[in-house]
Amino acid sequence: MTALTLISENKLFNGSQRRYRHFSETTQCDMTFAVYLPPQALQGYKVPVLYWLSGLTCTDENFTQKSGAQRFAAQWGIALVMPDTSPRGEDIADAEGYDLGQGAGFYLNATEQPWAPHYRMYDYIVSELPALIESEFPVSDKRSIFGHSMGGHGALQIALKNPERYAAVSAFAPIVNPCQTPWGQKAFSAYLGGNSNSWKQYDSTELLQTASGKLPILIDQGDADSFYPQELQPETFVRTARACGFDIQFKMRPGYDHSYFFIASFIDTHIEFHAQALGL
């Protein structure tokens, strides 16, 4: 296990908000993540972990500074882990647009050049990062996962493929059917190549049909979200999930957009949803 370098630490709601850097064997570069340890963890108790996956252009800092999640994580005794959205660095492949390359890893394992050597966010999130967290911090092996936009896509497809690893999954304004939307088509064709059949392994709506476990799902969507009509379209996912027998809650929020103001408004209900799934 590679060594962790502490970047910063702040006391917050009697817990500890920290930021770390480490070399990732999966992405073959330095990765940064944030972790919030609630007061229960600092008192010697092993606490469950809730993983947050951020959206396009974000780093770990967007959620830690804007969501207000730590207040509720402290109340429930849940550790929060917030990884970056992609590998980064001078030697890491990048692109001109905001929706491809650094800041836009899409939580998959790239197979095409120049992306394949480093863009392996799926394996990093599912395997390497949890192993690191569970070896270095006072946490249990109980996990749950949620995210926003591209991170909502990541959380849903990861949970659907690994239901034994997570108690539940939730998302704010997720990309749910990337095979059928411009963001997804651009990213998948670059990272995975031109065969659209290979894209389905990372498409949450497609994965509902073959999911081996039916974990609880919560989705929030704002009806004033400018990306909602074309890029998001969560109703397709919701209809398919219900037809497949999933326990899914879908909440359309009047007047809310795609921003962290939306996330901060309802972060408490998402953390409570995960706390209940984790048995707290």
pLDDT one-digit tens code per residue, 208-228: 999 988 999 999 999 999 999
Diameter of the chain by CA atoms? 52
Cα distance between residue 244 and residue 238, in whole Å: 10
Check if 153 is active-site.
no
Supply the pLDDT for residue 71: 98
Owning domain of residue 116: 5-278
Contact 3, 25 (CB under 8 A): no
Query: Beta partners for 35?
Result: 18, 81
Cα distance between residue 242 and residue 14, in whole Å: 40
pLDDT tens for the chain, 280 residues: list them. Answer: 579 999 999 999 999 999 999 999 999 999 999 999 999 999 999 999 999 999 999 999 999 999 999 999 999 999 999 999 999 999 999 999 999 999 999 999 999 999 999 999 999 999 999 999 999 999 999 999 999 999 999 999 999 999 999 999 999 999 999 999 999 999 999 999 999 999 999 999 999 999 988 999 999 999 999 999 999 989 999 999 999 999 999 999 999 999 999 999 999 999 999 999 999 9
Supply the pLDDT for residue 122: 98
Supply the pLDDT for residue 1: 57
Contact 73, 271 (CB under 8 A): yes
pTM above 0.85, yes or no: yes
Query: Which of 24, 170, 225, 274 is flagged as catalytic?
Result: 225
Supply the pLDDT for residue 22: 97
Contact 33, 6 (CB under 8 A): no
Supply the pLDDT for residue 168: 98
Q: State the sign of the Cα–Cα–Cα–Cα dihedral 47, 48, 49, 50.
A: negative
pLDDT tens for 113-138 read: 999 999 999 999 999 999 999 999 99
Amino acid identity at 152: G
Check if 149 is active-site.
yes
List the one residue out of 39, 35, 44 whose CA is nearest residue 80. 35
Number of domains in the chain: 1
Query: Which of 149, 170, 203, 274 is flagged as catalytic?
Result: 149
Look up the CATH number of the domain holding residue 144: 3.40.50.1820
Query: Which of 118, 258, 270, 274 is flagged as catalytic?
Result: 258
